[in-house]
Structure 1
Amino acid sequence: MPVPGFAVPRREFVRTLLHRGSPPERPDTGEDLAEVGDATLARAARYWVVVPVAYRIAAFVKVFIGFAAANGSVGLFPVLPAAALGVAANAGFLWWLLRSGGLPARRTRRVLTADLGAGLGLNLLIAVLAPDAVQPFAIDVTWTWLVGSVAMWAGTSGLPAALLLLAAAVPVRVLLTLAGGLRLDNPLALSRSIGCLVALAVSIVVACGILVLLGVGTRFALDIGLRRGQEAERKRTQRLLHDSVLQTLEALAIAPSDDADHAAERLAQLRSVAHAEAAELRRSITEPIEPRTGRSFVVELADVAAEMAREGLRTQLVAADFADDDRLSADRRTAMCEAVREALRNTVKHAGTSRVVLRVEERDGGTAVVARDQGRGFDVRERGPGFGIRQSIEARLAEVGGTGQVESTPGNGTRVTLWVPH
């Protein structure tokens, strides 16, 4: 289900983008989804300006080649250095944007104003220096700078600011024509001026389209991330209840043969287990999950085996050929230990045996743990995997790039093979 007012972009959201441009970057409190979306969009908008800057680098080369092909060596002196300067300046600008993490949020207006001023200065210089016969064509080359500038203003400040710059471009183009000593009714100057204004209008349309696509895409991406996060949290809660409360209740429900003869001891044991389980559940809910440090993987497996010994399962841990050099990440170690705990609990509940062998070994570029018992076994083709196998073993390991496999036949016990990569 989409999140109301967030997953489906409303007309108001698109209108706001077009009117104000990308939202200002501010601290993300994470309390409101719309604020999260605006913060994400603002960070993304810092990088999109590399598009018009990269366009100017390519366009300077392209337009200059067209100018040289049409006019030969006439006016080559002022136009060639201007084109080279434009390519070099924009390459440096692009390098600075990528290195500094996009357009600085607090200096956006100052940077774009300086960029616009540089473009106006370059155009005015060419208008004065270029020969009259090719002056309109020469301005086409340097006008490329202003096309990129207007596009950046459209994306960061919105459509009204871009339209204001488009309107201001009319007297600017008149000034450039007069600075070159041409009459305003000169057919060549008039046609090239119209072409330059059309180029600005096209850049505004493209920039606004990119802005809307970026904003709408951000909203949809966050909606998808939200759904996946909710699903992951739901699965985590299910695992927490299954691996703690439910397993403990089932273990307590298994009555030993001498339960009636040791009622007082049994009651004390139940109280102790219930108290420990409540404390562990409270810690899991209220405290952040932090990796344990300073302990080897084999020691953590031994702790799991000791925990299961309190439920009557005797575990033989074999790790003679395993070099515990801490190559497993904290997430993979945690996933493996939880999967081992689930496998051993299934042995307690279903295998009809109190012994299991736990072997740790290096395998296929990762670490494998094999739990083998000689219990009653079952037919894996007739009995599908339960929640514990699907979620606490297979899904848990899959989340960290690992696998879990259960092999069993009636009367021949069960083998559970768990593997995670290094």
Structure 2
Amino acid sequence: MPEAGSAAPPRAFVRTLLRSGTPAEPTEPLPDSGDLTAVGDATLARASRYWVAVPMAYRAAAFVKVFIGFTAANGVLGLGPVLGATVFGVAANIAAIVWVLRSGGLRARLTGRALSLDLSLGVVLNLVVAVTAPAEIQPFAVDVSWTWLVGSVAMWAGTSGLPAALWLFAAAVPFRALLTVAGGLPLDHQLALTRSIGCMVALAVAIVLAVAILIMLGVGTRFAVDIGLRRGREAERHRTRRIMHDSVLQTLEALAISAPGDDAQAVTRLSELRSVAKAEAAELRRRITEPVPTGSARGFAVELADVATELARDGLRTQLVAADFADDHKVSQDRRTALCEAVREALRNTVKHSGTKQVVLRVEQRDGGIAVVARDQGQGFDVRDRPPGFGISQSIMARLAEVGGHGTVDSQPGRGTRVTMWVPG
């Protein structure tokens, strides 16, 4: 049974692309759901906004190429209309590319009108060249102006699907015959017939290439969205596990630790446990419901001081050294938050495992970023014999790695522990 929110089968998706082209432009913003079909179509629609620039760029280059071939074969004969068509084709397509890029792509509401206008210009351009070019070189002249229609059919194939492109291909047969007659040549004229077949082959090649690009764009987008959603869900699972580890699990472990005189001071002890549980519940609620931080006017050293104050209720005395640190707010809020959470976990490990209640926290600028070093003079341990637990591997190492940073743990028995945490600027 397919997983909920999974993509449509690749064959069905490709058939849909071929039948109707890229999906219509979705409303803003992107769908906030795990429905891969909706998210994939929305992403594909945004990517396809700029696809029309590819046929336009081809036409701008192809006009120059075909014009050079025309002049090499015919000299100055019929140069006027062919040169005019070439200049118009290159200038119009370059201007259209600039417009598409600056306006954020071709929007769905403009696609039909824009492509209809583009096709109309191609029809008019070919008629003008066919009528004005000398009869003896008219088929070669039409080859130049036909370049416009090749790009038009490719754009229709990509945005409206293969059926629309095939209808245009079928309509191009009588239209190419009309151009021959308009130039004063009979339909059975050998040169006109040969060049007409060449023009139809060019349209067929354009349709095939456009369909291939459409399939690669659609399927590639769908697979990319699928991978992105899977990684996002995995990251969310890691985030949830970290929240549970850093808050609920820490509280439960604290509640489970017995202290001398618990029985004699049961009421006081119960009151303390309730206070701790209430504080942790408030912290957990804040983490679950708070919006993603976008910035903070507070200095990073102040944020670290808040973390040290929080751990002081567990009896940890933290000496914060930040005299040589210039907090210029160049580090993003996401990285500052990750660093503060990693420091919080390092201090909690000090409380639980070091055998000391004192730690030095040094903040410094290093290697283009911020480094925080937590050093205690506790009992230490042999890092080669003790593999990193969840707190070190996930709450410190993995959390920093997610924002481009890293962390290291150095410790020896009897010589304390030093945890170095760094994030880039």
Query: Taking structure 2 as the reference length, what is the TM-score of the superposition?
Result: 0.96
How far does the alpha carbon of each residue in 1:78-118 deviate from its partner, in whole angstroms, 9 at most, with x for none?
Answer: 11121111111111111111111111210101000000010
Where does residue 16 of structure 2 map in the other structure?
16
Amino acid at match of 1:150: V
Where does residue 322 of structure 1 map in the other structure?
325
Moved segments of 4+, more than 6 Å: none
Rate the CA distance shift 1:411–1:236 in 2: closer, same or farther, 3 A. Answer: same
Q: Does the alignment pair 1:408 with 2:401? A: no
Rate the CA distance shift 1:322–1:95 in 2: closer, same or farther, 3 A. Answer: same
Correspondence for 1:204 among 193, 197, 207: 207
Q: Is the 8 A contact 1:2 1:223 kept in 2?
A: no
Where does residue 277 of structure 1 map in the other structure?
280
Q: Kindly state the Cα deviation for residue 324 of structure 1 after the two structures are TM-superposed.
A: 2.2
Structure 1 vs Structure 2 CA RMSD: 1.6
Amino acid at match of 1:241: M
Where does residue 230 of structure 2 map in the other structure?
227
Q: Kindly state the Cα deviation for residue 5 of structure 1 after the two structures are TM-superposed.
A: 7.5
Q: Is the 8 A contact 1:177 1:184 kept in 2?
A: yes
Q: Kindly state the Cα deviation for residue 7 of structure 1 after the two structures are TM-superposed.
A: 4.1
Amino acid at match of 1:68: T
Amino acid at match of 2:218: G
Q: Does the alignment pair 1:245 with 2:253? A: no
Secondary structure of 2:23's counterpart equals coil
Where does residue 31 of structure 2 map in the other structure?
29
Gaps of 5+ in 1: none
Secondary structure of 1:316's counterpart equals strand
Alignment of 1:383-422 (within 5 A): 383-422=386-425
Q: Does the alignment pair 1:183 with 2:209? A: no
Q: Kindly state the Cα deviation for residue 382 of structure 1 after the two structures are TM-superposed.
A: 0.8
Deviates more, 1:29-38 or 1:18-27: 29-38
Secondary structure of 1:47's counterpart equals coil
Where does residue 265 of structure 1 map in the other structure?
268
Secondary structure of 2:297's counterpart equals coil
Amino acid at match of 1:199: A
Correspondence for 2:78 among 59, 75, 79: 75
Q: Is the 8 A contact 1:356 1:372 kept in 2?
A: yes
Correspondence for 2:385 among 382, 407, 420: 382
Amino acid at match of 1:33: L
Counterparts of 1:29 and 1:374, CA distance in 2: 52
Q: Is the 8 A contact 2:363 2:373 kept in 1?
A: yes
How far does the alpha carbon of each residue in 1:166-208 deviate from its partner, in whole angstroms, 9 at most, with x for none?
Answer: 1111111111111110111100000101110111111111111
Q: Does the alignment pair 1:171 with 2:177? A: no
Q: Does the alignment pair 1:310 with 2:313? A: yes
Counterparts of 1:409 and 1:2, CA distance in 2: 51
Q: Does the alignment pair 1:338 with 2:341? A: yes
Counterparts of 2:143 and 2:121, CA distance in 1: 16
How far does the alpha carbon of each residue in 1:216-242 deviate from its partner, in whole angstroms, 9 at most, with x for none?
Answer: 111111110111011101100110001
Secondary structure of 1:183's counterpart equals coil
Secondary structure of 1:250's counterpart equals helix
Counterparts of 2:307 and 2:153, CA distance in 1: 64
Counterparts of 2:224 and 2:367, CA distance in 1: 36
Deviates more, 1:250-259 or 1:57-66: 250-259
Secondary structure of 1:328's counterpart equals coil
Gaps of 5+ in 2: none
- The alignment-based identity, stated in percent, is 71
Q: How many residues align?
A: 422
How far does the alpha carbon of each residue in 1:113-155 deviate from its partner, in whole angstroms, 9 at most, with x for none?
Answer: 0000101111111101111111000000010000000010111
Where does residue 218 of structure 1 map in the other structure?
221
Q: Is the 8 A contact 1:8 1:220 kept in 2?
A: no
Rate the CA distance shift 1:223–1:146 in 2: closer, same or farther, 3 A. Answer: same
Counterparts of 1:348 and 1:5, CA distance in 2: 44
